[in-house]
Amino acid sequence: MGAGRFRMRDLVEQTGLTRETIHYYLSEGLLPPAIKTGRNTALYTEQHLERLRKIQDCATATFCRSRRSARSWRKAAMPATTSRRRSAS
């Protein structure tokens, strides 16, 4: 296979994403169409690989940001308890 040409399995191995996830990104237009070489065969370029890595970076950053936001929201929602219970005497 020529340099810079990848099959689906190559994208899966290099990104750690599933075939289904990559197909989803293709169907949603997040990736450019593949180069069809046959009825059930397609090739992907370095551009596809780079785009997948950017999507992964964005997804990770969004996830981390949303987790920080959720922690901040929980802290704000839970009032600090500064008073102590008095013992019954």
State how far the Cα of 16 lies from the Cα of 18, in Å rounded to an integer: 7
pLDDT band with cut points at 50, 70 and 90 for residue 72: low
Please list, in sequence order, all residues whose beta carbon lies within 8 angstroms of the beta carbon of residue 53, skipping any fewer than 6 positions away: 15
Q: Is residue 40 part of a domain?
A: yes
By the 8 A CB rule, do 56 and 15 touch? yes
State how far the Cα of 73 lies from the Cα of 67, in Å rounded to an integer: 10
Q: Is residue 73 part of a domain?
A: no
How many other CB atoms are found less than 10 A from the CB of residue 44?
23
Q: Is residue 86 part of a domain?
A: no
Domain count, the chain: 1
Please list, in sequence order, all residues whose beta carbon lies within 8 angstroms of the beta carbon of residue 10, skipping any fewer than 6 positions away: 44
Say yes or no to pLDDT of 60 above 60: yes
Q: Is residue 16 part of a domain?
A: yes
Q: What pLDDT does residue 54 have? A: 92
* pTM of the complete model beyond 0.75: no
Q: Is residue 83 part of a domain?
A: no
User: Which structural domain range is residue 46 located in?
Assistant: 5-62
Q: Is residue 55 part of a domain?
A: yes
* CATH classification of the domain holding 33: 1.10.1660.10
Take residue 19 and report the two structure tokens written for it: 């075939």
